[in-house]
Amino acid sequence: MKPFVATFGSGSAQCYIESDFSKEVTVDWKPYITADPEIMHGAVCLRGTRIPVSVVLDNLAAGETPERILEQYPSLKPEHIPAAIAYAADLARERIIPIPA
């Protein structure tokens, strides 16, 4: 299995996205995630799509690879996957997270 690697952006969220967890990448999720009351009733979605972040996270939790998720959801971009993970990491820190519109 080929590892999924993201080398973009900068910010405060960190996630591990290689299959061997050997490389730490800092990801700024804010350009890739939005909540708009006009799209999916305000659910937190990946920018430019109608795909909720939770769908990507659920697929990852179920063991799907990033490559397979990108195949299943063609409107996703590779950078959406680590952005979803970074967003979840921020939420897990139990802070109030502002969502860009």
Domain presence at residue 86? yes
pLDDT, one tens digit for every residue, the chain (101 residues): 444 444 334 333 444 444 444 455 578 999 999 999 999 999 999 999 999 999 999 999 999 999 999 999 999 999 999 999 999 998 888 767 677 77
Query: What is the Cα gyration radius of the chain?
Result: 13
**Apex 52 CA angle, 27 and 10, nearest 5:** 10
φ, ψ (nearest 5 deg) of residue 70: -65, -35
Domain presence at residue 7? no
CATH code, domain with 17: 1.10.10.10
Whole-model pTM: value is: 0.69
The amino acid present at 76, given as its one-letter code, is: L
Domain count along the chain: 1
